[in-house]
Structure 1
């Protein structure tokens, strides 16, 4: 039993195609509905070519009415070496290319030796068939064999799924050559067999950890730092505001306020208020007065709302009414 073989259930009516072998003496088969299911090897038998023809020649009425899609074996291309004659106690091997799928495979096969390509053969490999090449290779020197390059296209008459071309290089090595002895599909002989269309697992690249590159220590700079000999930067001096800040927009934007909206003009006034209040607190002032005018009370109400949340403000009140009327607020700083 090989990948690509058509099989049927012993105790059921389902048929399918072997897609891969599983642990525990199980195989995975693809049934007519396109589902892949695991089954024990003892529960399935391989459908022989004669049996398949017999079923096709005498279809039942139920089968004629069935619209189920045809089961297609998509995998099963092999390169095989079959031992043949003995010459001076050294065996030679015949080279086979095997197609155990339901696709036709127009192919080329060649050798790569020291950056040179030597074409061996090209042909169309029919479904469930093999091609024996005329070349023979000595098993005693298999490690010196060239790299075999096989290229193929997948073809089926009628509507089918477009598949990527098959391009496979095979180099026989001592570590794996002897472990590939088995029954060759379609050829039905024992030899060294290698499947060419196995889906290779994608290896995810392990992210490289960035190494912390240590900068060389400047001994002189370290000594000066420990001894306090380095130049000390003077802290940035705070701008101590005036004790009376006029927030009228004509004072803040003496060159004109252009096309700014009322909301944008209010934001300019609030930014000036915040900046001067913070500088007054940081520079240790006792109090500061903001002239906001009377107007519609929008600016005054917003200032009072914000002052109520300032942790550095002790209290605030209307400034001298005789001097500012109701258009100014005095802020007492903690």
Structure 2
């Protein structure tokens, strides 16, 4: 039996072409529609030339061909941030971050009280942020003068080449508040460094660290505090925060649409269904990591291969994934992936 030979299964109706020899006495065959399945060698028999001729007259089987799946494009529409990173125990650098898939032409400046009680604007930087990029500003902000920090103003547009929906320009003001700013130290997107973060393009205006306004009215004055208290808060361990309960997922997570939507997919299109599968995958993986699991298996099926390809792409770049591999081949074929967590 050689690669390219026509074979059929002893206990099933499927027939196909030998595409690869696998360890453990397994053979991968390609059946109709380009699907490949692993089968025990003892379960296969070669198709004789005469039998093959008769099968070709009654079967719709087509010769092996390469199929390039057209996976729906998953776009990130939100993720514009202002981030403050500590460079020492006295100063911060300001960064504007674009964690979306759009180009973001922007203007960034400061508003502060001017002479006579008015508002004075000072431009800091302007430019174009490419998708998944950031811009470091030159100004340094001292925690000793935190209570006099200005109101930061970001104006931006959205651009993507080709056809896309028209988006309204972004105009956001951010005023750091002592009651919330230092309680939300997190990993900053794109930079992957610890810092203090506020999202400017969230759907809701109730951002924990930001005070936004659509006019140039007088900004409320922040509460005056001792700079030493800020310093102590800045270096406070994240473990001091209240514990967060994380639901431990099952050891095997089925991502098939019929499992995620038992009542049917409704009017959802293929892109929306793929996004649901990827969101479920991300949530279950993060919960597995947070709850201390050693490994987790995702059943994604074979299909066109777009879901499996996207999962493997994301797993290959995940910092908490030790390695991943095709799981339980005899049970799932190549339709499941086992992830080993660091």
Larger radius of gyration, structure 1 or 2?
Answer: 1
Identify whether the pair has TM-score above 0.5, normalized to the shorter chain.
no
**Under a length normalisation based on structure 1, what TM-score does the superposition of the two structures give?**
0.39
By relative contact order (CA 8 Å, sep 6+), the higher-ranking structure is 2
**Under a length normalisation based on structure 2, what TM-score does the superposition of the two structures give?**
0.39
